[in-house]
Amino acid sequence: MAIIRIYHLYPAHLNLYGDRGNMLALCRRAEWHGIDIEVVPVEPGGRINFSCCDLLFMGGGQDSDQKLVAKDLKNHRTEMRQAVEEGMAVFAVCGSYQLLGYYYTTGRGEKIGGLEIAEFYTEAGPKRLIGNAVINCSLWNPPKTLVGFENHAGKTYLGPNLQPLGEVLVGYGNNGADKKEGAVYKNVIGTYLHGSLLPKNPWLTDNLLEKALSYRNQVFQPAQLDDSIEQQAHSSVIRLASSKRHKRRSSRV
């Protein structure tokens, strides 16, 4: 039986926007596909043995938690970067996504150094970018859509060689200007979308499981799953996100 070891980074601190749902989706779907999952919770201050990690999950956190995490994670930067270069799968949401870049400049002008895993930076904008989002992921063949909810003050700008996770169809994405959302580097996926993201986008969940397996030279043999409820949830968000009426009743003037 195939096995994936998921390192859940700082679960007590990075759990802001239903990140529990992302972990739940990874575990449930792995189980349904007949993959064994071992979840290793990682707490600040401890040793992180990246060589045993197949998939690293990093959720979003409050500002105060975020700072603590950034400080702790910097002690592991070299090992983490090495694992990423070798193909470790990483899924990072919101604040954790920002942490993967070069730096984050806060609203007060404070510059917090990132892990420099991928070539991008983030600067706090004057207003929070909040709402439903729909993304077209053309890196995948055939292209896929992602639906989620975003809520971030940071505006992220990707370097010229970094691929976005997708193009924004509805919502703001990385910075509200260039129509790009998230970033993909090797087996690393960073995104602003939560919702929770993975339960309503089962293809991405499976893709992460596949990345984690292929990193360890294991083959992903998907089971035939009935995803009709997930698909309905997926299309209902596209419907709501595209509806002007719904936008009116769900946005603050």
Partner 1 sequence: MQNMKGQHTKPGSSNNPLLQIKLLLGIWIGKSLIALTRVFGRGGTTLPGRMALKVAPRISSSLAGLLPEGSLIVTGTNGKTTTSALITGILKEAGYNCVHNQSGSNMSWGVASALIAASSWTGHMPGDFAVIEVDEGAFPKVVQSIRPRGIIITNIFRDQLDRYGEIDHIRDAIKSGMESQPEYGFEVLNADDPSLISIEENCGKKRWSYGLELNLSTDTFENTGRDIKTCPICNEKLAYEKIFYAHLGHYHCLSCGYKRKEPDVKLTDCKTSLDGKPLLQITLPGEEIKVNSPLMGNYNLYNLLAAITCAKALNISNPDIAVALEKSIPSFGRMELFELDGKTIIIALIKNPVGANEVLRTILGQADKINILVTINDKIADGTDVSWLWDVDFEQFSSVKDKLSSVTVSGLRAWDMAVRFKYAGLDPAKFKIEENTAEAIEVALEQIPGGGKLFILPTYTAMLEIRSILNKKGLGKPYWEE
Contacts with partner 1 by CB under 8 A lie at 12-13, 15-21, 24-25, 28, 62-64, 128, 130-132, 149, 151, 194-196, 199-200, 226, 229-230, 232-233, 236-237, 240, 246, 249-252
Q: How far is the CB of 233 from partner 1 (least distance, A)?
A: 4
Which residues, 6+ apart, have CB-to-CB distance to 247 below 8 Å? Answer: 131, 241
Q: How far is the CB of 148 from partner 1 (least distance, A)?
A: 9
The residue among 118 and 155 lying less far from partner 1, judged by its C-beta, is 155
* Dihedral sign of CA atoms 45, 73, 94, 203 in order: negative
In whole angstroms, what is the distance from residue 26 CA to residue 17 CA? Answer: 16
- What strands lie across the sheet with 89-93, from one edge to the other? 36-42, 3-9, 55-58, 89-93, 188-191, 183-185
The residue among 75 and 235 lying less far from partner 1, judged by its C-beta, is 235
Q: How far is the CB of 234 from partner 1 (least distance, A)?
A: 8
| Cis amide prior to 142 (ω within 30 degrees) | yes
The residue among 58 and 80 lying less far from partner 1, judged by its C-beta, is 58
Q: How far is the CB of 207 from partner 1 (least distance, A)?
A: 18
| Residue 94 known to be catalytic | yes
Choice among 13, 94, 137, 234 that is catalytic: 94
The residue among 112 and 162 lying less far from partner 1, judged by its C-beta, is 112
* 146 phi, psi to nearest 5 deg: -120, 140
| Residue 33 known to be catalytic | no
Which residues, 6+ apart, have CB-to-CB distance to 172 below 8 Å? Answer: 129, 131, 133, 150
Helices (H), the chain: 19-32, 63-74, 77-86, 95-99, 197-200, 202-215, 228-242, 244-249
Choice among 33, 76, 194, 234 that is catalytic: 194
Catalytic residues: 94, 194
